[in-house]
Amino acid sequence: MSTNLPINPTPVDRREEMVVTQQPGYQATEQVTRDVAAERRMRLFQINRIIWSILTLVEVLLGLRFVLKLIAANPESAFAAFIYGITNPFIAPFATLIGTPTSNGMILEVTTLIAMVIYALIFWGIVSVVGIVTDRPSARIVTRSVREQTPGAGTERTTNTTRNE
């Protein structure tokens, strides 16, 4: 069973601004609380998406290389040559790490699998460090208070609205 623990609602980095508009019989007060930390989190989210997208592309290309080598694809074909050409720089640091078993033209390129694991770990580490360096909690809240007075009748109406952005 899981329980939801309350999150500290006190923002760390807030900018508050109050705007008051007054006219005869009408007063509007708008309080804007801008959470700079939430904006930073949104930028961090975008950076994380870009980093994971790059890793996904590299992993897919390396996976295609592994499969093409495993099924003994013709290295002279345009697609295989394209995949090998793009992935060679990613495989180069691991090329002589271990031997590559072959059988009837099929190649079990274990170095490609090792490269895939190492690149995943590197990208995971980058995302973790970026998250630690840039993350700060809080939120933006806008509160608007409108007070209307009817001249002569003596009636007053106040409306309060609050929204999160």
User: What 3-state class would DSSP assign to 27?
Assistant: strand
- Could you give the residue ranges of the DSSP H alpha helices within the chain? 36-70, 78-91, 110-134
- Residues with Cβ within 8 Å of 46's Cβ and at least 6 positions away in sequence, in order, are none
Q: Is the pTM of this model over 0.85?
A: no
Token pair 């500290």 is at which residue?
8
- Residues with Cβ within 8 Å of 61's Cβ and at least 6 positions away in sequence, in order, are 83, 86, 87, 90
In the structure, what pLDDT confidence band is assigned to residue 124 with cuts at 50, 70 and 90?
A: very high
Percentage, residues of the chain above pLDDT 90: 42
pLDDT digits (tens, 9 = 90+) for 51-104: 999 999 999 999 999 999 999 999 999 999 999 999 999 999 998 899 888 888
- Residues with Cβ within 8 Å of 35's Cβ and at least 6 positions away in sequence, in order, are 11, 13, 14, 138, 139, 140, 141
Round to whole Å and give the CA distance between 138 and 30.
20
User: What 3-state class would DSSP assign to 105?
Assistant: coil
- Residues with Cβ within 8 Å of 141's Cβ and at least 6 positions away in sequence, in order, are 33, 35, 162, 163, 164, 165
- Using the predicted structure, report yes or no on whether residue 7 has a pLDDT greater than 90: no
Q: What is the 3-state secondary structure (H, E, C) of 108-128?
A: CCHHHHHHHHHHHHHHHHHHH
Comparison of pLDDT for 145 and 33, the residue scoring more: 33
User: What 3-state class would DSSP assign to 50?
Assistant: helix
In the structure, what pLDDT confidence band is assigned to residue 122 with cuts at 50, 70 and 90?
A: very high
In the structure, what pLDDT confidence band is assigned to residue 136 with cuts at 50, 70 and 90?
A: low
Least confident piece of the model among 6-10, 43-47, 83-87: 6-10
Token pair 């995943």 is at which residue?
120
Give the pLDDT confidence score for residue 46 in this predicted structure. Answer: 92
> Do 100 and 109 contact (CB within 8 A), yes or no?
yes
Mean pLDDT, to the nearest integer, of 133-143? 62
